[in-house]
């Protein structure tokens, strides 16, 4: 049971929900930059939600499976086809053995593709996610290349029941979509927030710099000059943390960020908006909006409830 | 101790106000981290420490009421016990010119000879303050003031695996080839990070570390 990578695109990686509890060894959580998108795609094909799938960004990706499978995807603006059939976002589709799955970015961003049974690469430190900086996990610790052959895991009973329910190619069921609210990322205050710095963060438009990657979005175009640039004692940072280096150009940390940092932490993008942050591409514009901590946690609980309701709905129908 | 949110799913406990003594603060954070890990509070997913602070990562949907108070109470009674059982680990280092990419530069800035720098560097017992930057990279506290040199003005895009380096008040070791801006003065044949083992790192926070000078031939013999 293999998925052959005919065309690998530019930065396609195997990702799951990442590594937990290893920060004290310097190991970043990593995993899908928008874990909710991956989880919904997995649920749609009958997988446990954190199974390994593919994270695609730029470049055309073409895959082939040697067995009948179900696929689903979530994320940015992509055109994903199975043969000639277009697969709408957050739906489940049947793929026959030998058929090609073609993923092409429209506006792009990042997309997560789940295949029933999951990508069955070895679990390393409790996860199948690719750690690109430390070169381990995923497929040989690196981005996929043309010609790679990814092992697929066995399907669950849920998958086979779902397959029987798809009369044409695409399912009549779909998952809830969490749409970004314009180009705003909501933030809460960080430890080193100061009102004048905050005013500049909230009052300007920023542009995503070319050298942004899975570690962080480097922002330019709106400068925040720190009042008194200080060297702080390094401490833990997290995905979402907005650091302010002496240059005055803020950096929004993403899933592959390092575990500790010494720059002032002026604010944090809230967890439910990290998936939207992961969709931003170089030259995109972004603005920030301040909310309170309790609201951020309430939004996160609300979204988890929506995911749980969707899962319960699928289990009621197919379980 | 000061507790502040680190985003919506984590807290930072800052101990800087409890002491001005670095070794004491380190002991305090390590003890607090150990206590929190041992407590297995519902919803807690990760505990990590760095110098003067501990961070607790959790799932906001799974934590119990008065979570912060519970953490505060646990940590207040944790004391500074952790360092008594510190492991002692020796790291062999070859300081030959081919590895010591910045030794001449450090000599110029410290007005010390290469041999004096090596003697100083390998005579100190360091403490692993934390591990970060990349998996397995130890931040070692205890470097002699005489060896304080700033980071490189423009970082290298590729520092070789095993490079032993210094910057400001810290010493460190690059576990694998990566970009970096510290002054490289030697190389160890030991592997500091193995993803296929758990724990994956040779060193852990709180460990005591000494460097031992080895020859090029010993380097080859000990290469892992």
C-alpha span between A20 and A31 (Å, rounded)? 10
Which of these CATH numbers, 2.40.50.100, 2.40.100.10, 1.10.260.40, 1.10.150.120, describes A184-299?
Answer: 2.40.100.10
Interchain CB contact of A307 with B (< 8 Å): no
Interchain CB contact of A234 with B (< 8 Å): yes
Interchain CB contact of A64 with B (< 8 Å): no
B2-78 topology per CATH: Gyrase A; domain 2 (3.30.1360)
pLDDT reported for residue A262: 85
C-alpha span between A249 and B203 (Å, rounded)? 34
For residue A270, the chain B residues in CB contact (below 8 A) are 7-8
ω before A246 within 30° of 0 (cis)? no
Say if residue A229's pLDDT is above 80: no
Q: Give the mutation candidate from A235, A253, A270, A296 for the B interface (greatest B CB count, under 10 A).
A: A235
Nearest Cα of chain B lies from the Cα of A190 at a distance, in angstroms, of 7
pLDDT reported for residue A226: 66
User: Is the ipTM here above 0.90?
Assistant: yes
Average pLDDT in chain A: 94
Residue contact A191–B130, C-beta within 8 A: no
The CATH number of the structural domain formed by B88-222 is 2.40.100.10
Nearest Cα of chain A lies from the Cα of B93 at a distance, in angstroms, of 22
The count of residues in chain B is: 224
**pTM, 2 dp:** 0.94
Say if residue A276's pLDDT is above 80: yes
Nearest Cα of chain B lies from the Cα of A205 at a distance, in angstroms, of 22
Say if residue A228's pLDDT is above 70: no
pLDDT reported for residue A70: 97
Q: Smallest Cα–Cα separation from A119: which of A20, A47, A174?
A: A47
Domain positions in chain B are: 2-78, 88-222
C-alpha span between B74 and A138 (Å, rounded)? 38
ω before A192 within 30° of 0 (cis)? no
For residue A22, the chain B residues in CB contact (below 8 A) are 46, 200
For residue B55, the chain A residues in CB contact (below 8 A) are 23, 235-236, 238
Consecutive 10-residue averages of pLDDT for chain B (224 residues): 96 94 90 93 95 95 92 87 80 97 96 97 95 94 94 91 95 94 97 95 95 97 88
CB A92 within 8 A of CB A170: yes
**Sole residue written with tokens 């720190």:** A226
Interchain CB contact of A6 with B (< 8 Å): no
For residue B47, the chain A residues in CB contact (below 8 A) are 23-24
Residue contact A22–B204, C-beta within 8 A: no
Q: Smallest Cα–Cα separation from B132: which of B83, B82, B189, B204?
A: B204
C-alpha span between B9 and B65 (Å, rounded)? 15
Domain positions in chain A are: 2-176, 184-299
* CA distances, A202 to each of A185, A225, A252, A297 (Å): 10, 14, 14, 20
CB A253 within 8 A of CB A215: yes
Torsion of CA A172, A176, A177, A178, to 10 degrees: 180
**Sole residue written with tokens 């905050």:** A198
């Amino acid at each position: 049971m293999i998925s052959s990578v005919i065309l690998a695109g530019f930065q396609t990686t195997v990702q799951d929900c990442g590594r937990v509890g290893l920060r004290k060894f310097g190991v970043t959580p990593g995993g899908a930059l928008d874990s909710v998108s991956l989880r919904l795609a997995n649920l749609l094909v009958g997988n446990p939600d954190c199974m390994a799938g593919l994270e695609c960004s730029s470049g055309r990706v073409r895959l082939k499976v040697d067995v009948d499978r179900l696929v689903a995807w979530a994320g940015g603006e992509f055109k994903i086809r199975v043969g000639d059939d277009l697969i709408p976002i957050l739906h489940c589709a049947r793929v026959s053995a030998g058929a090609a799955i073609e993923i092409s970015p429209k506006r792009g961003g990042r997309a997560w593709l789940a295949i029933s049974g999951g990508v069955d690469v070895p679990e390393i430190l409790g996860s199948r996610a690719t750690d690109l900086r430390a070169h381990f996990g995923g497929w040989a610790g690196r981005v996929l290349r043309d010609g790679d052959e990814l092992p697929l895991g066995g399907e669950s009973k849920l998958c086979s029941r779902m397959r029987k329910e798809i009369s044409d190619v695409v399912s009549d069921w779909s998952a809830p979509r969490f749409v970004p609210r314009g180009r705003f990322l909501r933030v809460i205050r960080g430890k080193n927030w100061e009102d004048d710095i905050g005013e500049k963060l909230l009052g300007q438009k920023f542009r995503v710099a070319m050298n942004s990657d899975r570690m962080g979005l480097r922002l330019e175009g709106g400068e925040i000059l720190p009042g008194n640039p200080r060297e702080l004692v390094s401490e833990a940072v997290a995905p979402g943390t907005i650091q302010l280096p002496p240059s005055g150009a803020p950096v929004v940390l993403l899933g592959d960020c390092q575990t500790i940092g010494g720059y002032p932490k002026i604010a944090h993008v809230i967890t439910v908006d990290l998936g939207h942050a992961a969709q931003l591409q170089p030259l995109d514009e972004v603005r920030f909006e301040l909310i309170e901590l309790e609201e951020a946690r309430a939004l996160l609980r609300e979204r988890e409830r929506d995911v749980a309701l969707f899962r319960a709905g699928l289990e009621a129908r197919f379980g | 101790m000061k507790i502040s949110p680190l985003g919506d799913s984590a807290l930072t406990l800052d101990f800087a106000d409890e002491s001005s003594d670095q070794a004491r603060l380190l002991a305090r954070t390590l003890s607090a981290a150990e206590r929190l890990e041992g407590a297995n509070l519902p919803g807690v997913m990760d505990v990590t420490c760095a110098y003067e602070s501990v961070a607790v990562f959790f799932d906001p949907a799974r934590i119990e009421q008065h979570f912060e108070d519970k953490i505060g109470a646990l940590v207040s009674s944790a004391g500074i016990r952790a360092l008594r059982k510190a492991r002692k680990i020796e790291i062999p280092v070859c300081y030959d010119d081919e590895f010591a990419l910045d030794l001449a530069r450090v000599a110029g800035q410290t007005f010390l000879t290469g041999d004096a720098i090596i003697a100083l560097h390998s005579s100190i017992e360091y403490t692993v303050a934390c591990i970060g930057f990349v998996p397995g990279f130890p931040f070692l506290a205890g470097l002699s003031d005489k060896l304080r040199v700033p980071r490189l003005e423009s970082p290298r895009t590729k520092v070789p695996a095993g490079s032993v380096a210094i910057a400001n008040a810290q010493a460190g070791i690059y576990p694998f080839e990566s970009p970096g801006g510290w002054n490289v003065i030697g190389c160890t044949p030991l592997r500091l990070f193995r993803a296929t083992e758990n724990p994956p790192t040779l060193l852990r926070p709180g460990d005591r570390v000494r460097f031992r000078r080895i020859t090029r031939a010993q380097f080859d013999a000990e290469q892992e």
